[in-house]
Structures are given as C-alpha cells and as structure tokens.
Amino acid sequence: MTEKRSFEKAMTELEGIVRQLESNDLTLDDSLKAFEKGVTLTRECETYLTEAKGKVEKLVRDADGVEKTEAFEPREA
C-alpha cells in the first residue's frame, strides 16, 4: 500500500515538475511523463483543498450557534 503524500509534499513535487518543464531540458517523452505526473499531483492538491474548505465551512457558526457557510475573507493587515 502506498502512503498518501501530504499537501505540502505534493506541492513541492509539483513545483519541481514545473521547473523541469520550464527548463526545456526534457525529451518529448519525458515531458509527457512529467506532465502526467503533474496532472495527478494537481488533482491530489485540489482534493486536499476541497476537504480543507469543507472543514472550514463546517466550523463557521453564527452568533446563535447555528452552522452556516460563508466565504472566507482574509483580514487586511
């Protein structure tokens, strides 16, 4: 069984693939393999982010204690 990689590890791997593809040092075959791996990593990251969004939305409650969904708006510093 393959251990599930963390979001951070998937992002680091994805960034490495992007650098490889941007370098133009890969053969066409290697570029296609790297692209396929990048698509897989992108989907993994999207899954993590979707799960995280769901958890954040679940934790948001209004003043009466009723759960509600609202968009996350970062505060300006």
**Mean pLDDT, 10 residues at a time, over the chain (77 residues)?**
82 96 94 96 93 77 67 60
Closest CA to 58 of 50, 68, 66: 68
Q: Under a CB-based contact definition with an 8 Å cutoff, are residues 68 and 62 in contact?
A: yes
Q: What is the pLDDT of residue 52?
A: 86
Q: What is the pLDDT of residue 41?
A: 96
Q: What is the pLDDT of residue 72?
A: 61
Q: What is the pTM of this model?
A: 0.69
